[in-house]
Structure 1
Amino acid sequence: MRLVLLGPPGSGKGTQATRLKDKLGLAHISTGDMLRAEISAGSELGKQAKAVMDAGNLVSDEILLGMLESRLSQADVAKGFILDGYPRNVAQANALDALLAKIGQPLDAVVQLDVATDLLVQRIAGRAAEQGRADDNPESVRNRLNVYNEQTAPVVDFYAGRGTLERVDGVGELDEVEARIHKAIKA
């Protein structure tokens, strides 16, 4: 199973990807986690990414695609994967399709987690207090939601047009949301 989880910041993509990874035995690939690891390591890429992320903007497509291609070549991806946080724009969706075609691993499903904006802001504020993430400050959150609406929301239409999109209500108990995702992907 090769799956993409879409949704705005705070929609629960990371939480649900972790749960699905455990249940389905798939690799969880989070571009956000990959970037945070680079930042933690203090690499040059990490320094560049930190400045961009702290401002609430998106890291370049080229950097993300290169990191993703490297990650998809690792052994734990052989049984399948869950992409969390990628693609974030239509250009990335096209690049992902080309990359997956090149390696013979087309997507099986794309799931959009739908959550109302006011609940997203509430969730992110809770996450900021809990985890102390610099990219979860109020100004950055507003910017990230605007960026999502302008750049990432069209990815939903991209996959809907290809017939691979499943919309799932991302509100409720974690088990309920997970069950909806399993039903949507028929896993």
Structure 2
Amino acid sequence: ADGRKKIHTTFPDGGEMVEEYDEKTDVLLVRKVRKPTKVGKEGEWVFEVGQAVEGAFDPYSDIMRASSSNPIFLRKDTPEHFQWRIRNLPYPADVYSVSVDHEKQEIVVRTSNKKYFKRIQVPDLPRHDLKFKDELLSWKHQHSTLIISYRKPPEILKGEQEALREAERSAVKM
């Protein structure tokens, strides 16, 4: 539907993961995960890749709305990289610092003017029992958008290809 392939995975602990791929390019567009709550109810969907479709503003029920000039954070992977985009960051490129916190296994984004700080987790790495490597991290700033890329390790590329092949084999053709 809509040029997308959907793969729905359920886990023994009751958790679920839904992935949506572009039918033509096999690029991951959305990955959302939910785990059951402590009392056994379905938890909220957490978007790891992509973002939830935001409904239109309703002035009768929506009392407040976030400013459109606030930084907007989203993950959008490419076939070779994990990629995050932070829009609405108007500072010059030399203000930004992007590094790896090896102790907490996170990417850290900060500005020298102390106006923005963000820790980015990559749940794909612990799933494959991998650690961050500094040389795989790169970033650039253009058009008020900070683009952070982390090259996917070979183990993850291989796992993604196997998952896609398995999904193709088990897909229901209509």
Structure richer in strand, relative to its length = 2
TM over 0.5: no
Structure richer in helix, relative to its length = 1
**Which has the higher relative contact order, 1 or 2, with Cα contacts under 8 A spaced 6 or more apart?**
1
Task: Name the larger-Rg structure.
Answer: 2
Calculate the TM-score normalised by the size of structure 2.
Answer: 0.27
